[in-house]
C-alpha cells in the first residue's frame, strides 16, 4: 500500500512540474494579452530618461526659440504686449516617471495620474526654465496652456512655482475645462497680446487645423506650414503619447489592447 501511495505522489509531483513548465512557456510565448498595456512604450521612456540625444533636442528647441524671440523683438512693433505660449506636459514638465511607473506596474493612464500630479514634484524639461526666464528678462509674458484638468490647478501651479518658472500664477495658467482644443484659450491670450512663439510637443499646441486629422492629412499640413516650424512654432520631442498616436487608432482610445497592437503593426512600413 505504501508503495502505491508513493507512486501516486510521485505522479502528482511530475504532473505539477510539467504544468508549471507549460505556464512558464505560455508566459514567454509573446501573447499580446499577457503583455502589460504600456510595454510597447518602454523604449520611448528609456529614450526620454537615458538618451543624451533627447536632452540635446530639448536644448536645441529652446536655443532656436531664443533666437526667434530676439528676432521678433527687433522686427515687430509694440502695438500689443508680446507673449510666448507654452504647453506644460513634455514641454516644460517631464512626466516620464509617471509613464515608467505604469510600465513597471503593468497598467496605463489614468491609473496613478492623480497621484503623480498631486506630488507636484515633476522636473523641468531641459532648457525650458532657462528660456522662459530669458523671455521674462526681455519683457515677454509667458502663458501656460495645458490640457490638464481644472482640478489639477493647484498642484500644477505649485510644481511650476517650486521650479521657479516665471509667470506661474492663475492669470497665466489656462487649464482644460470642457474641450481639449486650445483654440479658444489661445484666442483669449491674443486679445491683449501678440503671440510671438508657440511651444509644444503636439501639433495641436500650435493650431486647430491639426486637430483630429488622419496621418496623411497631418503630413500634408506639416508640409504646408513648414516655414513656421523653427520660426513661430517650436516642437519638443515626445515619442510616448500625443495626437500622432491618436491618428493611428482613428482617435478611438477605447479599442482593446489587441486592436491597438494590430493597428500599430499595420502602420509599420517595411521593405
Q: Does 83 score more than 60 pLDDT?
A: yes
Neighbours of 98 (CB within 10 A): 20
pLDDT digits (tens, 9 = 90+) for 177-223: 888 999 999 999 999 999 999 999 999 999 999 999 999 999 999 99
Q: Does 48 score more than 90 pLDDT?
A: yes
Name the CATH superfamily for 38-266. HAD superfamily/HAD-like (3.40.50.1000)
Q: Does 102 score more than 50 pLDDT?
A: yes
What is the arithmetic mean of pLDDT over 129-155? 99
Encode burial over 189-227: b for 16+ CB neighbours within 10 A, e otherwise: beeebbbbbbbbbbbbbbbeebbebeeeebeeeeeebee
Judged by DSSP in three states, 92 sits in coil
What is the arithmetic mean of pLDDT over 131-154? 98
Q: What percent of the chain clears pLDDT 70, i.e. is strictly above it?
A: 86
pLDDT on residue 8:
43
The full set of domain ranges for the chain reads: 38-266
Amino acid at each position: 500500500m505504501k508503495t502505491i501511495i508513493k507512486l501516486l505522489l510521485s505522479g502528482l509531483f511530475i504532473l505539477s512540474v510539467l504544468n508549471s513548465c507549460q505556464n512558464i512557456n505560455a508566459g514567454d510565448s509573446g501573447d499580446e494579452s499577457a503583455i502589460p498595456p504600456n510595454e510597447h512604450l518602454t523604449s520611448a521612456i528609456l529614450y526620454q530618461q537615458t538618451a543624451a540625444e533627447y536632452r540635446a533636442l530639448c536644448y536645441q528647441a529652446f536655443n532656436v526659440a531664443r533666437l526667434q524671440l530676439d528676432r521678433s523683438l527687433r522686427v515687430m512693433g509694440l502695438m500689443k504686449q508680446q507673449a510666448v505660449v507654452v504647453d506644460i506636459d513634455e514641454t516644460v514638465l517631464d512626466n516620464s516617471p509617471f509613464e515608467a511607473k505604469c510600465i513597471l506596474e503593468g497598467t496605463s493612464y489614468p491609473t496613478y495620474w492623480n497621484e503623480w500630479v498631486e506630488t507636484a514634484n515633476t522636473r523641468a524639461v531641459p532648457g525650458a526654465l532657462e528660456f522662459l526666464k530669458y523671455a521674462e528678462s526681455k519683457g515677454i509674458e509667458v502663458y501656460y496652456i495645458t490640457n490638464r484638468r481644472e482640478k489639477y490647478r493647484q498642484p500644477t501651479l505649485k510644481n511650476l512655482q517650486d521650479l521657479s518658472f516665471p509667470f506661474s500664477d492663475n492669470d497665466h495658467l489656462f487649464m482644460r475645462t470642457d474641450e481639449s482644443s486650445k483654440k479658444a484659450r489661445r484666442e483669449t491670450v491674443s486679445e491683449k497680446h501678440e503671440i510671438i512663439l508657440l511651444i509644444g510637443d503636439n501639433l495641436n499646441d500650435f493650431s486647430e487645423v491639426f486637430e483630429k486629422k488622419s496621418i496623411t492629412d497631418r503630413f500634408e499640413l506639416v508640409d504646408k506650414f513648414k516655414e513656421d516650424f523653427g520660426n513661430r512654432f517650436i516642437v519638443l520631442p515626445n515619442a510616448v503619447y500625443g495626437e500622432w498616436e491618436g491618428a493611428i487608432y482613428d482617435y478611438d482610445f477605447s479599442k482593446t489592447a489587441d486592436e491597438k497592437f494590430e493597428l500599430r503593426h499595420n502602420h509599420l512600413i517595411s521593405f
